[in-house]
Structure 1
Amino acid sequence: MKFGIITHYDVHNHGAILQLNALKEFLSGKGIEAQALQFDKNYDFMGVELKAKYNISLKSIGIYTRYLWNEGPAKTLFNYRKRNILNEFKRTHRLIGPYYSKAGQMDATVIGSDEVFALHTGPTPCLFGHACPGRNVFAYAGSFGPTTFEEIEKRNCIPFVKSGLENMTGISVRDQNSFSIVSRLLRQDPVLVCDPVLLYGYEKERASFKNKKIDLPPYLLVYAYDNRMNDKEEIAAIRKYANDNGLKIVSVGFYHAWCDQNINIDPIELLNYFACASAIVTDTFHGVIMSILNHGNFAVILRDNKNKLFHLLSEYKLTDRIVPDLSGLTSILSKGIDYNQVDGILQERRSVSASYLDSMIQLCR
């Protein structure tokens, strides 16, 4: 069988690519050929200038010129290399298929995972299942991200969102905010599942790293978007912990000038850097997921992603890893994590998630 996947395939984010590859690999294990389908994202809610940033054309030149001027050549070069590494990963793993309207015969289209239901950029029809190819369209681990029910109302998008969800064969989500929105719109509960990275687990890939040492002294890993975790107080707290514990500060996947080292790496190799870190500080959803998979010693700073991130931490009984204030960083990283309990919860979540996908696959046979 052939499945198309509608997700954020064109972002230069390791977590987004890891979840796409994980879903593809899980489906492959079920005998299904799957690839992400291309589409044009709607940016109507972001304004003309930001829209030009994402739809590259002559209008984008000014934006990227300002980026180079403001951010400097080191960060610009890092992100240029990162783009090439991630594009090569997508190519070699055959992650990207045709444009969705030209995909031809598909047995199903899977919407998700990631923030496919978020409306902060604009309303993109295929992200809600509209006009997608295949006899069946269903969602796996979809998320509204920062979008709330009130924002959907404010944007006058309830009919648009509701009609797409109503026509899906099945709906599963990965966080409580998304669960509540779907329940409120459809008067029925979706299935709560885990992110594809947790479902697939990358066990085979991670096992191959056991004899592959990272040529670095003991280090604290920072995993945060390059426009975040640059606050002076946050930097000071992280540096203090690293200095007190004899650790280098390494940022992997994103550029932070204040770190001792910035490393460009492909998404699967990134998992090994999480596995080998003495400590991890992150503020991202997939930063927590990679920490969980590798039984990492991590601390989390909550930001505007708290809808999905707090749910993830609550689900695995890890809310004590949240940094309430920066003075508590050392205390959190000094505490152990009961990974026997975490792994037990993970196995339960995997069972529910695999059962949901199996039921969707069965409908397509």
Structure 2
Amino acid sequence: MLNKGSGLNMNICIVTIYNSPNYGAFLQAYVLYNVLKELGHEVTFLDTGARKQSKKIIKSTIKKIILFKFEKAYFELKKYWTFKKYIKYCDLCRKDTNSMNNQDIFVFGSDEIWNISRDEINKYPILFGVGIPDIYFVSYAPSINNTTLDETFSNQTFLNALQRFDKISARDKHSQKILNLITKKPVEYVLDPIFLYNVKQYETIEEKINKSGYILIYGYPNRFTSKNINEIIEYAKSKNLTLISVGNYFDWCDKNIAASPFEFLSYVRNARYVITNTYHGTIFSIRYCKQFASYAGSQIKVMDILENLELENQVVSESCTLENALGTNIDYIKVQEKLDRYIEDSYKYIHSFLENADKYIESRKKN
């Protein structure tokens, strides 16, 4: 799928959230960056200023210390510094006119960079292209998540910005439909960059761990209810397995690990089961062919990928218990066959926008 082709060596700038202490955000950016580099291009991330975490982490840590939650404070700081060590190696394009004018193409995505229902996204309209020179704009797999059509029509900045795009894609059907309606342009369905690497490729970047016999918990704290927590604990006891949370601190887990992004991959690989309430937790479970359960059924983006792969039974709900979800025998041969078609389409889209950008650059030189 990674055919380099005969086009120009281009300067490509990715516009995404690459600097968040979040495994999914960091790794989707990492994979897209490397896919484009492997195709023979110079790749950087635009330093948008969005989601810089230092002030937020300091405030959160002080609050935990005041409440005598010392272990949680230490965990949060350790996770922040672990991510900072990796983020500092990202190649950046500065947010100034000269630096941006040196780019041949801007690729927006992936992740929820167009989820305008979130204030932290709206604060940075540069994520939609505002303030970036009018060069060649494409999107790769952004999501608006649960943003409604009315919300998009009431955001004139967002609407105007999207009219500048030469090619648009989205990573879920809801985003695809809404973006098509508001731009009147074709919007292609592509996979999150996480799927662009296979397990063998991930193995080459994993930082190995020496752990087994555990259930991996990967989720946001405010999304597990007390009922969820109780059934998870009971299930772990019934299987005589340890509960290990990676990335967030949960009092009810046996161990809490502030892992690096590449250690996280090993924790997924070695887990007996994965329990998650996040989008990327769900798709990493699928990529590593794990028995998993997702508590993220209310998220359109999660249900979209699960329905496409016929994995709806992995969602814990009123009609499906945790035990049933984890006990489902997933036919990963069938899942992979479906994934392969989507992956092929995703690479075709990448090659397509690179070829179009190549022609755009050549025509600009003639003019």
Return closer, same or farther for 1:116/1:357 CA change in 2, 3 Å cut-off.
Answer: same
Matched residue, 1:341: 334
CA distance in 2, matches of 1:237, 1:125: 42
Output the amino acid matched with 2:194: V
Computed over aligned residues only, the root mean square deviation of the Cα atoms, in angstroms, reads 2.4
Deviation per residue, 1:69-92 (Å, 9 max, x gap): 348121111111111111111224
| TM-score (structure 2 length as normaliser) | 0.87
Matched residue, 1:4: 13
Output the amino acid matched with 2:84: N
CA distance in 2, matches of 1:61, 1:2: 36
Aligned match for 2:169, one of 172, 182, 188:
172
Matched residue, 2:274: 280
Deviation at 1:108, TM superposition (A): 0.6
Matched residue, 1:47: none
Query: What is the percent sequence identity of the aligned residues?
Result: 28
Deviation per residue, 1:245-296 (Å, 9 max, x gap): 1100000122112100011211122111111111111011100111011101
Matched residue, 1:226: 221
Matched residue, 1:14: 23
CA distance in 2, matches of 1:252, 1:134: 41
Contact 1:37 1:103 in 2 (8 A): no
Matched residue, 2:105: 108
After superposition, residues 256-335 of structure 1 pair within 5 angstroms as 256-302=250-296, 304=298, 306-325=299-318, 328-335=321-328
Matched residue, 1:356: 349
Output the amino acid matched with 2:95: Y
Return closer, same or farther for 1:82/1:293 CA change in 2, 3 Å cut-off.
Answer: same
Q: SS where residue 172 of structure 1 aligns?
A: strand
Q: SS where residue 251 of structure 2 aligns?
A: coil
Deviation per residue, 1:218-264 (Å, 9 max, x gap): 001100023332x2211110011100011000001221121000112
Q: SS where residue 11 of structure 1 aligns?
A: coil
CA distance in 2, matches of 1:254, 1:62: 17
After superposition, residues 76-87 of structure 1 pair within 5 angstroms as 76-87=73-84
Kindly indicate whether residue 62 of structure 2 is the aligned counterpart of residue 65 of structure 1.
yes
Deviation at 1:213, TM superposition (A): 6.5
Contact 1:100 1:133 in 2 (8 A): no
Deviation at 1:183, TM superposition (A): 1.6
Aligned residues: 345
Output the amino acid matched with 1:9: Y
CA distance in 1, matches of 2:280, 2:165: 26
Unpaired runs of at least 5, structure 1:
43-52
Q: SS where residue 45 of structure 2 aligns?
A: strand
Deviation per residue, 1:85-143 (Å, 9 max, x gap): 11111224x35442364524001111100001111112532211223246201100011
CA distance in 2, matches of 1:188, 1:7: 22
CA distance in 1, matches of 2:204, 2:325: 28
CA distance in 2, matches of 1:237, 1:295: 23
Output the amino acid matched with 1:126: I
Deviation at 1:325, TM superposition (A): 3.3
Matched residue, 1:183: 180
After superposition, residues 44-193 of structure 1 pair within 5 angstroms as 56=55, 65-70=62-67, 72-92=69-89, 94-99=90-95, 101=97, 103-104=99-100, 105-119=102-116, 120-121=118-119, 122-133=122-133, 135-153=135-153, 156-157=154-155, 159-193=156-190
| TM-score (structure 1 length as normaliser) | 0.87
Q: SS where residue 82 of structure 1 aligns?
A: helix
CA distance in 2, matches of 1:149, 1:308: 16
Contact 1:39 1:100 in 2 (8 A): no
Return closer, same or farther for 1:249/1:349 CA change in 2, 3 Å cut-off.
Answer: same
Output the amino acid matched with 2:261: P
Kindly indicate whether residue 244 of structure 2 is the aligned counterpart of residue 235 of structure 1.
no
